[in-house]
Amino acid sequence: MRDHDDDTSGRVDEHQRAHDYHGAHDDESRDDDDPRDDNHVADADHLDEEKPVPFPRRLLNDNEVVVLDLRPHWWVLVGSAALLAAALALAVGVSAVVPGTAHDVVLIASLIVVLLALGRFVRRYARWATTNMVVTTQRLILRAGVLGKTGREIPLERINDIAYRQRLFERLIGAGDLLVESGGERGQEILRMVPRPMRVQQAIYRQMAARGADRTRAEPS
C-alpha cells in the first residue's frame, strides 16, 4: 500500500514539474513574441534618456510632450557682467583714491557709469531669460521678447535639415550655432549660442523619426 502511494505521489510530482516547465516556456514565448513589451521597454529607455522639462501646458497641443526647453548659453551674459564688475571696481577705487573737492564729482560720475552698466546687464539678462527654444514631440518652438513677444513654430515634418557649427572657443564652453532648414518663406533659421548644439540636433532628429513612424502607423493600409 505504501509503495502504491509513493508511486502515485511520484507521478503527481512529475506531472506538476512538466506543467510548470511548459507554463514557463509558454510565458517566455509570449514575452519574446509580444511586440508590445518591446515597445514598452523602448519607450521607458527613451524617457530615461530624454526626460521632459517643465513648460506651460497651456501652450501645448493634445498629446504633445516637451523634450527640451533651452535658453541661450550663459556666455551671452559674461560681457555685460564683466562691465558691471569693472564699473563697481572703478567706483570703489575712485572713492578710496581721489582726495579733496574732486572726490564727490568723480564719485558721482563713477556711480553714473555703474548705473549704466547695471541697466545694460539687466536688459541683457531679461532678454536671455525670455528667449526660449523648445523641442516637443510635434514641433520646434522659438520665442523671444521682454515686453513685445516674437515667436515661430516649425512642425517637425517640415524640417528638412539641421546643422550646427562650433568654433574652438565655443567647443570649450559647450555652445554653438544651430541652423534649421525648413520648408516655407524664411527657409533657414539660425539659432545663436545654443548650449550643446549637437545634443539638440540629435534630440530633434529623434523626434522627427518618431513623428514619421507615428504618421506611418496611422495611415490606413
Question: Residue ranges of the domains in the chain?
Answer: 51-72+132-218, 77-126
- pTM of the complete model: 0.66
Cell of 88: 563697481
- For residue 207, the number of C-alpha atoms closer than 13 Å in the C-beta half-sphere is 28
Note down pLDDT in tens along the chain; length 221 residues.
444 444 444 444 454 444 444 444 444 444 444 433 333 333 333 433 344 345 677 888 888 899 999 999 999 999 999 999 999 998 888 888 877 677 788 888 889 999 999 999 999 999 999 898 999 999 999 988 888 888 889 999 999 999 999 999 999 999 999 999 987 767 788 999 999 999 999 999 999 998 888 777 777 66
Q: Are 202 and 194 in contact (CB under 8 A)?
A: no
Q: Are 107 and 114 in contact (CB under 8 A)?
A: no
Topology given in CATH for the domain delimited by 51-72+132-218: PH-domain like (2.30.29)
Q: Which residues pair with 190 in a beta bridge?
A: 179
What value, to the nearest 5°, has the Cα angle with vertex 137 and ends 146 and 70?
35
